[in-house]
Amino acid sequence: MDGNGEARAPMQILLVGDSPGDVRLTKEAFHNVNLSARLNVAVDGIEAMSFLKQMDANNVRTFRPDLILRDLNLLRMDGRQVLAFW
């Protein structure tokens, strides 16, 4: 809840990484600190771009993450290229 006693929407997080171990550890870390978050996982930069480019019928972005965690060394499109887009 926020300072006014109203429920807040969960934080939207995009994790860009190809290591299942890193994904598991990140999920555990958020769970352990009781962070209300929705963790979306993309295995590479191409998949991350698909998340970031989602639009509705009015050409408004439907996915705007509050936080992007990315691995810099990925296949196909690395984390630096994703960051340059964002």
- What tens digit of pLDDT does each residue of 58-82 get? 888 888 899 988 877 776 766 677 6
pLDDT of residue 59: 84
What confidence tier does 10 reach under pLDDT thresholds 50, 70, 90? Answer: confident
* Tokens linked to 60: 């408004």
Amino acid at 82: V
Amino acid at 85: F
Q: Where are the domains of the chain?
A: 11-85
Scanning the structure block, which residue is given the tokens 């600190």? 33
pLDDT of residue 18: 84
Superfamily for 11-85?
Response regulator (3.40.50.2300)
The closest of 60, 76, 49 to 68, measured between CA atoms, is: 49
d(CA 73, CA 79): 6
d(CA 75, CA 71): 10
Residues 8-29: what's their mean pLDDT?
89
